[in-house]
Chains A and B, each alone.
Chain A
Amino acid sequence: MKRRLPLLVDVFSFIAFFVYTVVFAVVILYLIRRAGFPFTVESVFGSADPVRALLLREPVFDGLFPAISGTFLLVVISVGIAVPVGIGTGVWLSEYAKGALYHVMTLFLDILAGLPSIVIGLFGFSFILLCHRLFPGKGPGFSIIVSGASLSVLVLPYLARSTEAALQSLDNSVKTAALSLGASRMENIRYVLLPKASPSILSGILLSIARCAEDTAVIMLTGAVASAGVPSGVFQRFEALPFYIFYTSSQYTCPSELDRAFDASVILIFLSTVLFGVSLVLNKTVSDPATEGK
């Protein structure tokens, strides 16, 4: 048995490598082959004139433009809410929180991070219903702003923890230099720590953008619909790329709709890959000693 051992571990790890590489290659190649190049005028704008559609003068019925613009607005809203709250929380955790309060907050954030996205969607949904009951006609209803706010809850723990980690990983000399020169804690945070940690924080933001763009469960409960056109206001229902993929997979009325769903898949993967890639590069520049300015 001992003889076989070296072989076992090596062989198995090679098998694992092989299996995963094949599986992921199959998935990605299948999508790319099926979708072709997704950014064609036809798949995005359908039969509408692209220039007029971009100026919002002409509605697009058989293209991805409404879904793309919905996803874009969704990301803007959710990241816009999550970034101040998340970074604020991260700074608080790193610089101000002590003892029991620190542990309680990190526990909360860990629990929040582990919550299924559909439970967060359920929370948003309950919020809509509650507002509707208490303030009939005046609540936000199923809308892009509620979806955006719910998505921000989804990425909040990640932003907070990565901001905290970014600040904590700063060299001690960096953390204390300004303080020893008489700067207040707040000045230290604003002028030294945050700028120094900003590549890491930015990489966390980029990852959050990817997460918000690709989530389906939260938005399907809070306002994503199959057909809404370009979002006309923050209190309106909207379309989004991941929801389009979900919806089309079970009920496509014509082959071109299905083709568009494949295009949407490739667009999402492309977007996420780019965001992940840039965030990786940003992280590398932080840990690169050349930039530490010693």
Chain B
Amino acid sequence: MKKAGFWILAMVFVLNSPAFGADCLSAFKQEHGNLAIAGGTAHIPVVKEAARRIMTYNKDIRITIGGGGSGVGIKKVGEGLIDIGNSGRKPTDNEIERYGLTMYRWAVDGVAVVVNPAREIRNLNTKILEKLFSGDIQNWKEVGGNDAPVNVYTRDASSGTRKVFWKKALSKGEITGNANFVSSNGAMKTAVANDVNSIGYISMGHIDGTVKGVALNGTAPTLENVKSGKYAVARGLYSNTKGKAVGLAEKFIDYLYSTDGQAIISAKGFIPVGQ
């Protein structure tokens, strides 16, 4: 009951967002300058939309957005090459200490196994999942599918999505050397959508009709299951800054926490998390 009440209230806020939107953006009124953001690719849809609204509101602000993966985001912001480094995993204690990072978590996201929509599979248990990714199972017919090779797609070492998936879904199991490398969540989606025999992993917020999420051990990859904790392969979406966020960076992160920002986050398929 409490939950429903909360959601109703949230809906009211979202529906009224134009008025509130203007309020949220008013912090940027007198600002000018450049803001460089890079890192995790899962964050990109949210950050891009937020940037678009801010830049449309105030023409004197320039926000550039790059990808590269969580590792890159942390590195670059730590080295002072960018202002905000996004990561799809919590920075390690080592990284925090070394760079003096301040973390801001503004969403929770799941990492789902995805296959092409043409594939019939709805559920995989962990053992079989590990075998599919390690290359022990090489043909779909071994798991009840058609006679076709299993094409594994994976991310590079910098990816937070990969790290979380490898740790929590594969239990740090091996990923076959024959796997195809893609460089972002967006690229993973395109690859899996275009290959009927593919299997990969992706940020849940990126799942749309072009790829199909697969349940793990009976638990479907939905936001509800992530929230309740039933679906364990989840991670926070962080924006990190070197030291405390100041200036434009601070305002941008505040914007993500604002009602406007939280609405964007929900709309893009993530679970917004307050300050």
Identify the A interface with B (CB < 8 A).
57-59, 61, 132, 136-137, 141-142, 225-229, 232, 236-237, 250-253
Is B52 located at the chain interface by the 8 A CB criterion? yes
Among candidates A141, A228, A236, A250, residue contacting B186 with C-beta atoms closer than 8 Å: A250
Q: Compute how far the CA of A253 lies from the CA of B67 in the bound complex, rounded to whole angstroms.
A: 14
Q: Which residues of chain B are within 8 angstroms of A253 by Cβ–Cβ distance?
A: 45, 186
Do residues A58 and B80 form an inter-chain contact, with CB atoms below 8 A? no
Q: Compute how far the CA of A257 lies from the CA of B53 in the bound complex, rounded to whole angstroms.
A: 19
Closest chain B residue, CB of each to CB of A137: B80
- CB B162 to nearest CB in A, in angstroms, measures 16
Do residues B62 and A226 form an inter-chain contact, with CB atoms below 8 A? no
Q: Which residues of chain B are within 8 angstroms of A232 by Cβ–Cβ distance?
A: 34, 62
Among candidates B36, B62, B67, B81, residue contacting A132 with C-beta atoms closer than 8 Å: B81
Do residues A229 and B62 form an inter-chain contact, with CB atoms below 8 A? yes
Name the 4 nearest CB pairs between A and B, nearest first: A251-B186, A250-B187, A228-B64, A251-B187
Q: Mark B45-79, 1 if CB is under 8 A from A, else 0.
A: 10010011001100100101111000000000001
- A61-B52, A229-B55 provided; 11 other pairs, C-beta below 8 A? A132-B79, A137-B80, A225-B38, A225-B64, A226-B67, A227-B51, A227-B66, A232-B62, A237-B66, A251-B186, A251-B190
A57, A61, A226, A232: which has the most chain B beta carbons within 10 Å?
A: A226
Q: Compute how far the CA of A252 lies from the CA of B194 in the bound complex, rounded to whole angstroms.
A: 12
Known contacts A132-B80, A141-B81, A237-B64: A250-B59 contact under CB 8 Å:
no
Known contacts A57-B59, A141-B81, A225-B64: A250-B36 contact under CB 8 Å:
no
- CB A223 to nearest CB in B, in angstroms, measures 10
Do residues A236 and B64 form an inter-chain contact, with CB atoms below 8 A? yes
The 15 listed contacts between A and B (C-beta, < 8 Å) are: A59-B55, A59-B56, A225-B38, A226-B67, A227-B48, A228-B64, A228-B65, A236-B64, A237-B64, A250-B183, A250-B184, A250-B187, A251-B190, A252-B190, A253-B186
Chain B interface extent, by class: 20 to 34
Q: Compute how far the CA of A246 lies from the CA of B71 in the bound complex, rounded to whole angstroms.
A: 22
Q: Which residues of chain B are within 8 angstroms of A58 by Cβ–Cβ distance?
A: 59
Main secondary structure of the interface of A (DSSP, over half): loop
Q: Compute how far the CA of A140 lies from the CA of B198 in the bound complex, rounded to whole angstroms.
A: 42
Is B191 located at the chain interface by the 8 A CB criterion? yes
Closest chain B residue, CB of each to CB of A252: B190
Closest chain A residue, CB of each to CB of B68: A225
- CB A146 to nearest CB in B, in angstroms, measures 12
Q: Which residues of chain A are within 8 angstroms of B187 by Cβ–Cβ distance?
A: 250-251
Do residues B59 and A237 form an inter-chain contact, with CB atoms below 8 A? no
Closest chain B residue, CB of each to CB of A228: B64
How many A-B contacts if CB must be within 8 Å?
Answer: 58
Is B182 located at the chain interface by the 8 A CB criterion? yes
Q: Compute how far the CA of A251 lies from the CA of B189 in the bound complex, rounded to whole angstroms.
A: 7
Known contacts A59-B56, A232-B34: A225-B65 contact under CB 8 Å:
yes
- CB B194 to nearest CB in A, in angstroms, measures 10
Closest chain B residue, CB of each to CB of A258: B190
Q: Compute how far the CA of A227 lies from the CA of B36 in the bound complex, rounded to whole angstroms.
A: 10
Q: Which residues of chain A are within 8 angstroms of B80 by Cβ–Cβ distance?
A: 132, 136-137
Do residues A227 and B64 form an inter-chain contact, with CB atoms below 8 A? yes
Q: Compute how far the CA of A250 lies from the CA of B67 in the bound complex, rounded to whole angstroms.
A: 13
Q: Compute how far the CA of A61 lies from the CA of B191 in the bound complex, rounded to whole angstroms.
A: 25
Q: Mark B175-193, 1 if CB is under 8 A from A, else 0.
A: 0000000111111011100
Q: Which residues of chain A are within 8 angstroms of B185 by Cβ–Cβ distance?
A: 251
Q: Compute how far the CA of A208 lies from the CA of B13 in the bound complex, rounded to whole angstroms.
A: 56
Q: Compute how far the CA of A103 lies from the CA of B92 in the bound complex, rounded to whole angstroms.
A: 54
- CB A279 to nearest CB in B, in angstroms, measures 34
- CB B274 to nearest CB in A, in angstroms, measures 27
Q: Mark B183-219, 1 if CB is under 8 A from A, else 0.
A: 1111101110000000000000000000000000000
Q: Compute how far the CA of A225 lies from the CA of B185 in the bound complex, rounded to whole angstroms.
A: 16
Closest chain A residue, CB of each to CB of B49: A61
Q: Compute how far the CA of A61 lies from the CA of B48 in the bound complex, rounded to whole angstroms.
A: 10
Q: Compute how far the CA of A182 lies from the CA of B195 in the bound complex, rounded to whole angstroms.
A: 74
Do residues B182 and A250 form an inter-chain contact, with CB atoms below 8 A? yes
Q: Compute how far the CA of A281 lies from the CA of B254 in the bound complex, rounded to whole angstroms.
A: 59
Known contacts A59-B55, A132-B80, A237-B36: A250-B66 contact under CB 8 Å:
no
Closest chain B residue, CB of each to CB of A229: B62
Q: Which residues of chain B are within 8 angstroms of A137 by Cβ–Cβ distance?
A: 80
Among candidates A61, A132, A225, residue contacting B66 with C-beta atoms closer than 8 Å: A225
Q: Which residues of chain B are within 8 angstroms of A226 by Cβ–Cβ distance?
A: 65-67
Known contacts A227-B64, A227-B65: A251-B184 contact under CB 8 Å:
yes
- CB B79 to nearest CB in A, in angstroms, measures 7
- CB A33 to nearest CB in B, in angstroms, measures 20
